[in-house]
């Protein structure tokens, strides 16, 4: 059950295989309270994060409403960077492997998670998806979350950063209407800037709203289809990659002492 919206998540499949095992307690304890769900999630998230830190994997959890351009942005990013950077993708959707197929066409390894009725990915699903994904050390792992501005904000997957994507067709007030996500994200990609001439969208106001809920959020304006602004996004990625490699070095130094 989702603690944010109370929906059920019954039929989870990972690369088409049903996720079912009794061994580590996903029974139907219907009275599981919110705190248990999040505490359990945080345990898995910590295990994921430890693994990602040790392997110097930069993990970006992409969160947005459906249709804001996550997959378009991802496929373009993969095609632009794949020659110089090992990358992998975990795709989350309620149904279909459509996005995993779009990602697969780039040649980058991908695992699809279908959450059934579930409205977000959780850390446990990510740990199972990682069993199916062989990634090199020093990779970038992109996680495309289920399209939803609400529930994914509450679930730590063990990622290095949450990245919010907001397309300008959604209206400039979304950061204050859905503050949890914009508060949890370290970067906001404002997408579909090419459509600005056709819309009544106030970019400055949107940025002001985003900073109102998160004064530290970085904001990059892009068009995933035209490629505008993507160099700034790649520079941000490069900077985070560098930091993650540095943290991994510190981590292994501490462990070896």
Ligand X SMILES: Nc1nc2c(ncn2[C@@H]2O[C@H](COP(=O)(O)OP(=O)(O)O)[C@@H](O)[C@H]2O)c(=O)[nH]1
Binding site for ligand X (CB under 6 A): 64, 66-72, 147, 191-192, 194-195, 223-225
By CB under 5 A, residue 70 contacts Mg ion: yes
Q: 92 vs 175, which CB is nearer to Mg ion?
A: 92
In the list ligand X, Mg ion, Zn ion, none, the entry touching 4 (Cβ below 5 to 8 angstroms by class) is Zn ion
Q: How, if at all, do strands 87-93 and 58-63 pair? A: unpaired
In the list Zn ion, Mg ion, ligand X, none, the entry touching 5 (Cβ below 5 to 8 angstroms by class) is Zn ion
C-alpha to C-alpha distance for 125 and 48, rounded to whole angstroms: 11
CB 153 within 8 A of CB 184: yes
Q: 144 vs 159, which CB is nearer to ligand X?
A: 144
In the list Mg ion, ligand X, Zn ion, none, the entry touching 138 (Cβ below 5 to 8 angstroms by class) is none
155 to each of 11, 122, 177, 218, how far by Cα in Å? 19, 6, 19, 21
In the list Zn ion, Mg ion, ligand X, none, the entry touching 66 (Cβ below 5 to 8 angstroms by class) is ligand X
Q: How, if at all, do strands 140-144 and 110-114 pair? A: unpaired
Cβ atoms within 10 Å of 50's Cβ, excluding its own: 12
Q: 44 vs 182, which CB is nearer to ligand X?
A: 182
List Cβ neighbours of 98 (8 Å cut-off, separation of 6 or more): none
> 3-state class of 178 per DSSP?
coil
Beta bridge partners of 130: none
Q: 44 vs 201, which CB is nearer to ligand X?
A: 201
Q: Write the DSSP symbol of residue 160.
A: S
CB 153 within 8 A of CB 121: no
Residue 229 CB burial class (10 angstroms; 0-12, 13-18, ≥19): middle
Q: 45 vs 63, which CB is nearer to ligand X?
A: 63
Q: 103 vs 140, which CB is nearer to ligand X?
A: 103
- Positions in the binding site for Zn ion (CB under 5 A): 2, 4-5, 119, 151
In the list Mg ion, Zn ion, ligand X, none, the entry touching 68 (Cβ below 5 to 8 angstroms by class) is ligand X
Q: How far is the CB of 147 from ligand X (least distance, A)?
A: 5
In the list Mg ion, ligand X, Zn ion, none, the entry touching 194 (Cβ below 5 to 8 angstroms by class) is ligand X
**Which of positions 95-124 make contact with Mg ion (CB under 5 A)?**
99
Q: Which residue is nearest to ligand X (CB)?
A: 69
Per CB under 5 A, residues contacting Mg ion are 70-71, 99
């Amino acid at each position: 059950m989702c603690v944010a919206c109370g929906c059920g998540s019954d039929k989870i499949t990972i690369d088409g295989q049903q996720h079912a095992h009794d061994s580590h307690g996903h029974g139907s304890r219907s009275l599981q309270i919110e705190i248990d769900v999040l505490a359990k999630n945080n345990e898995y998230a910590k295990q994921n994060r430890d693994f990602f830190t040790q392997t110097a994997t930069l993990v970006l959890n992409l969160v947005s409403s459906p249709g804001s351009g996550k997959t378009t942005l991802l496929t373009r990013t993969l095609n632009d960077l794949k020659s110089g950077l090992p990358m992998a993708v975990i795709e989350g959707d309620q149904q279909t492997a459509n996005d995993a197929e779009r990602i697969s066409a780039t040649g980058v390894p991908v695992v699809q998670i279908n959450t059934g009725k579930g409205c977000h990915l959780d850390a446990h699903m990510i740990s199972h998806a990682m069993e199916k994904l062989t990634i090199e050390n020093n990779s970038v792992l992109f996680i495309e979350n289920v399209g939803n501005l609400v529930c994914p904000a509450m679930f730590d997957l063990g990622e290095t950063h949450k990245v919010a994507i907001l397309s300008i067709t959604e209206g400039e007030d979304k950061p204050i209407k859905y503050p949890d996500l914009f508060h949890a994200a370290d970067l906001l990609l404002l997408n579909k800037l090419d459509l600005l001439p056709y819309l009544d969208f106030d970019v400055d106001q949107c940025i002001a709203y985003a900073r109102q809920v998160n004064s530290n959020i970085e904001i990059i304006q892009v068009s995933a289809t035209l490629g505008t602004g993507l160099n700034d996004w790649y520079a941000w990625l490069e900077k985070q990659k560098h930091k993650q490699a540095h943290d991994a070095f510190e981590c292994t130094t501490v462990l070896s002492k």
